[in-house]
Structure 1
Amino acid sequence: MKLLNRILAPIALTLLSGSVFADQVEPNVTELKAEFLQTQNAKGFSAEETQAFIDNAEFNQAVIDAMTKPWEAKPWHQYYPIFLTEKRLDAGLKFWKEHADTIKRASKQFNVDPQIIVAIIGIETFYGGYMGNYPVKDALYTLGFHYPPRATFFRKEFANLQELVKEENLDINNLKGSYAGAMGFGQFIPSSYRHYSVDFDKDGSRDLLNSPVDAIGSVANYFHQHGWQKNQPVALELTLNKALPATVKTWAGEKMHYKIADILSPNVALAKSMDIDISQPGLVIKLEQQEHDEYWLGLKNFYVITRYNRSPLYAMAVYQFSQELKQAYATY
């Protein structure tokens, strides 16, 4: 179970595979808590409410340990076998069949390919089977007040959690998730839960913890809001005759700034010839296999997947799993 909790992928989280917590200066927690109280007071919470919210959370060293050793730091040949399995594929086909009408409705309403919706929920939580065992309040408190590399980000998530609990009437003491505070079928962090979740089953609440219908609609909405282009390619394998030109670097989390015309050349070509608009944005993905490196051309949809989790390995696993699902479901 510990292994499975570690591979839950937090949504829209910049991974910190190179950070070393021991080299960071411990923040002044008292000052940070005072600032937090002021911030929440400006949002309408009383000092008593916010103080009780803080006091209800506890430091958890296991959260720090998990954050500093993410699975995405592994090479591709060790990473993808965790996710691309027959067991996950079978579960995905079963989930797709069981919720076919809902997935079709979400795909149409939000203009998102159905296989990407199913792939995300499968990669994140094995279709609700493994949603995480970390108390969300403790995870976000720990990272927000005791993890300098991302403390500002996670304090904002801790603040969003206080608002989310009030808005959705969640049981804070029984709210479990990943080590980064991501929750539910699709592993939404609090800010994403508040901004992108939808009441897709029309029962009056946005329940990503117990309602696969709400989760399906919410994942689709997340991708729609980040610019997913339905029925468009995601990534295309490249063939290199030589090393990448010095003018092109592999993608490392930055905004898309290359055009495909900047990447393709006589020495860098598509593995399968096809017509493509070379004026559109593109990026280069490097995948470490045991005996060689693979290079792929990532398109806008690939970048959209990285808005969910910024690791290129994660995005490639989602894409390849979605292709497996699409092909298998056609004959399921």
Structure 2
Amino acid sequence: MISLLASTSLSLTLAAQAVTQESFTQEWTQKGLSPEYIELALSKANHNPKVIEAITTPWEAKPWYQYKQLFLTEERVQDGVAFWKKHQQTLARAEKEYGVEAQMIVAIIGIETRYGQFTGTYPVLDALYTLGFSYPKRAKFFASELGHYLMLAQEEGWELTDVKGSYAGAMGWGQFISSSYRAYAVDFDGDGKRNLLNNPVDAIGSVANYFKNAKWQHGLTPAYPLVQSPEVTAALKWNGKPITATVAQLKQAGVAAIGDDTMSSAILTLDSSESEKQGFQVTNNFYSITRYNRSPLYAMAAFEFSQLLNDAFKP
């Protein structure tokens, strides 16, 4: 049972995190939107309780051995190979211009939307409205994304209620959130539009551009499986932040680490079964993948999927 004091503290915390429509309007008016446009947008938005339900039960809450079964399938690999062959020249150009391997770009788009087959059914306006004003845990973030969505709709000439995406408001083949769409989407086919909603060429270039900005290093392996799951100090474990430990430090701790002694590396341990764990040596490129999705399960799935694609692809 929560004490009265704890309950009061929790209520105050949630209240502090809450975003009001008045404060939202004031902030985004200062950032360039007209009050009339904001009022119109909010009047068109609907609260959707299914959005709250979805965000509180994410797939990333599952253990690794269950999570990876969603993506590391033969059918998805074959879809990826077909996509790679169809867009081989575009992917090669993206790799050359942005320094991101084709198989990683293909893996991301495959995991996100199965190559455009499943881009989401939630109206983005409703999803961001619901999370921005009714999900105090991350209200500030989603209210910001709502503001960016209103900006984006104006910039791209969208009807606010037409665009659909994930329960978290991610859109298009690569599932970009609004701020990422505005910052990293590129017109990769040169038609004068940045269209990630139904243009795979722009999606390819934009995913590559995102990874370039996340400091992806061409040729650097994101993770190496370890024969044994080592017991190391917290300083050598990956904590979701930029990696500060080195291969030399891992070796000093008794880890059979791979790479030059100065290479940044840390240890990540995932559940490989109900009773066993698998250790990995992760590098800066693993961290780069988590800039796309913070979950280490997602990052590992994307990397392993990219390996399967690379093995299966025959030019």
Q: Deviations over 1:220-257 (max 9, x none)?
A: 0000111111122111112337x412344532322322
Q: Give me the whole-angstrom Cα distance separating, in 2, the residues matched to 1:232 and 1:254.
A: 18
Residue 225 in structure 1 maps to residue 213 in structure 2: yes
Partner in structure 1 of residue 7 of structure 2: none
Partner in structure 2 of residue 252 of structure 1: 239
Q: Give me the whole-angstrom Cα distance separating, in 2, the residues matched to 1:276 and 1:174.
A: 49
Q: Deviations over 1:14-34 (max 9, x none)?
A: xxxxxxxx9897649997111
Partner in structure 2 of residue 159 of structure 1: 147
Give the fraction of aligned pairs with identical amino acids, expressed as a percent.
47
Within a 5 Å distance, the mapping from 1:1-332 to structure 2 comes to: 27=15, 32-240=20-228, 243-248=230-235, 250-265=237-252, 267-270=254-257, 276-290=259-273, 291-329=275-313, 331=314
> Partner amino acid for 1:304?
S
Q: TM-score, normalised by structure 2?
A: 0.91
| Structure 1 range deviating more: 230-239 or 146-155 | 230-239
Corresponding pairs, count: 305
Q: Give me the whole-angstrom Cα distance separating, in 2, the residues matched to 1:174 and 1:285.
A: 41
Q: Give me the whole-angstrom Cα distance separating, in 2, the residues matched to 1:109 and 1:82.
A: 31
> Partner amino acid for 1:33?
Q
In structure 1, the gaps of 5 or more residues are 1-21
Question: Shift of residue 266 of structure 1?
Answer: 6.1
User: What SS does the corresponding residue of 1:255 show, helix, strand or coil?
Assistant: coil
Cα pair 1:285 1:297 within 8 Å, conserved: yes
Q: Give me the whole-angstrom Cα distance separating, in 1, the residues matched to 2:295 and 2:167.
A: 16
Q: Give me the whole-angstrom Cα distance separating, in 2, the residues matched to 1:50 and 1:66.
A: 26
User: What SS does the corresponding residue of 1:174 show, helix, strand or coil?
Assistant: coil
CA RMSD of aligned residues (A): 2.0
Q: Deviations over 1:19-72 (max 9, x none)?
A: xxx989764999711111111211232211111111111111111111111111
Q: Give me the whole-angstrom Cα distance separating, in 2, the residues matched to 1:38 and 1:157.
A: 15
User: What SS does the corresponding residue of 2:225 show, helix, strand or coil?
Assistant: strand
Cα pair 2:80 2:309 within 8 Å, conserved: yes
Q: Give me the whole-angstrom Cα distance separating, in 1, the residues matched to 2:13 and 2:50.
A: 19
Cα pair 1:139 1:181 within 8 Å, conserved: yes
Q: Deviations over 1:233-289 (max 9, x none)?
A: 111112337x4123445323223222222223463214xxxx611222222211101
Distance 1:201 1:244, change over 3 A: same
Q: Give me the whole-angstrom Cα distance separating, in 1, the residues matched to 2:309 and 2:89.
A: 17
Cα pair 1:29 1:145 within 8 Å, conserved: no
Higher relative contact order (CA closer than 8 Å, sequence separation 6+): 1
In structure 2, the gaps of 5 or more residues are 1-9
Cα pair 2:18 2:133 within 8 Å, conserved: no
